[in-house]
Amino acid sequence: MQWSQVLPLWHASYNWAMCHNEEKYPNPSEFDPDRFLNPNGTLTDDTVSVVWGFGRRICPGRYLGEASLWSAMACLLAVFKFSKTKDETGRENEINPQWKAGITMRLQPFPCSITPRNGEMDIAALQDLIRVSV
């Protein structure tokens, strides 16, 4: 039996190179969501479609995947306020994203503050919201 890779190494390096193109994405290794905003604050048309593959091997579920992510993020942002944690003096702590490499890149846990936008929402309502969303 001959050993073969599941994903050819050239394929992975090709995708990495496309997502780290400094002409298209200045400082590609920095976390900068603003690169996907126009000067007036609207979203650009760049969807980084390279992550879904190419040609006849393109992911058939890409539209469902993008729509599901958009819907999940919109729901989270509508219900919760995400902000930086504060130190003892009340100043915001800066977030320094750390990534863990492996088959995929994963963001390491970091401190943040997640609070309900509706101050009257109680813990039971939050737990019920979590229960029905899983």
The binding site comprises 59
Using CB atoms within 10 A of its CB, is residue 7 exposed (0-12), middle (13-18) or buried (19+)? Answer: exposed
Residue 28: Cβ within 10 Å count:
15
The label of the residue with tokens 């320094």 reads 96
Name the CA dihedral angle for 58, 64, 70, 72, rounded to a multiple of 10 degrees.
Answer: -130
From the annotation, which residues make up the binding site for heme?
A: 59
> Which residues is 80 bridged to in the sheet?
116
Which residue is associated with the tokens 């994405």?
25
- Cα 62 to Cα 47, 58, 65, 106, 133: the distances in Å are 11, 8, 5, 20, 21
